[in-house]
Homo-oligomer: A and B are copies of this chain.
Amino acid sequence: MGEINIKQLASELNLSAATVSRALRDSHEISAETKARVMEMAKKLNYEPNPFASSLRHQKSNTIAVIVPEVANNFFSLAIKGIEEVARAKDHHVLIYQTHESGELESSFMTRLLSGRVDGVLISPASHVASKDYFQKVSEKIPMVFFDRDHDDIEGVKITTDDYESAYSATQHLLEAGCKRIGFLAALDTLTTGKKRMQGYIDALKDNGLTAEPELIVTQCENNEPCRSKIRYFIARQKPDGILSSIEELALPCYYVCKELNLNIPKDLKVITYSNLSHAELLNPSLSTINQPAFEIGTEAATILFKMFSKRWYDPNITISLKSNIIKRESTQA
A-side residues, CB < 8 A to B, are: 63, 70-72, 74, 77-78, 80, 84, 93-98, 100, 108-109, 112, 117, 252, 255-256, 278-279, 282-286
Docked CA distance A74–B278 (Å): 13
Query: Could you say which residues of chain B place their CB within 8 Å of the CB of A100?
Result: 84
Kindly identify which residue among B93, B112, B283 contacts A97, using a CB–CB cutoff of 8 Å: B93
- What is the chain B residue whose CB lies nearest that of A62? B112
CA distance in complex: A63, B112 (Å):
10
Closest to A63 in B: B112
How many copies of this chain does the complex contain? 2
Cα-based distance from A294 to B285 in the complex (angstroms): 28
Q: How far is the CA of A256 from the CA of B282 in the complex (A)?
A: 8
Q: How far is the CB of A40 from chain B (nearest CB, A)?
A: 35
Do the beta carbons of A93 and B112 come within 8 Å of each other?
yes
**Which chain B positions have C-beta within 8 A of A78?**
72
Contacts of A252 in B (CB 8 A): 278-279, 282
The answer to whether A94 touches B98 (Cβ under 8 A) is: yes
CA distance A98 to B96 in the complex (A): 9
Complex CA gap A285/B284 in Å reads: 8
A259, chain B: closest CB distance, angstroms = 9
Query: What CA separation (Å) do A52 and B44 show in the bound complex?
Result: 55
Q: Find chain B residues with CB under 8 A from A93 CB.
A: 97, 108-109, 112
Cα distance, A123 to B279, chains bound together (Å): 28
A95 — nearest CB in chain B belongs to which residue? B95
Please give the distance in Å from A258's CB to the nearest CB on chain B: 10
A to B CB contacts below 8 Å, 15 in the list: A70-B77, A71-B72, A71-B77, A84-B98, A84-B100, A93-B112, A95-B95, A95-B97, A96-B96, A96-B97, A256-B282, A282-B284, A283-B284, A284-B285, A284-B286
Bound state CA distance, A109 and B74, in angstroms? Answer: 24
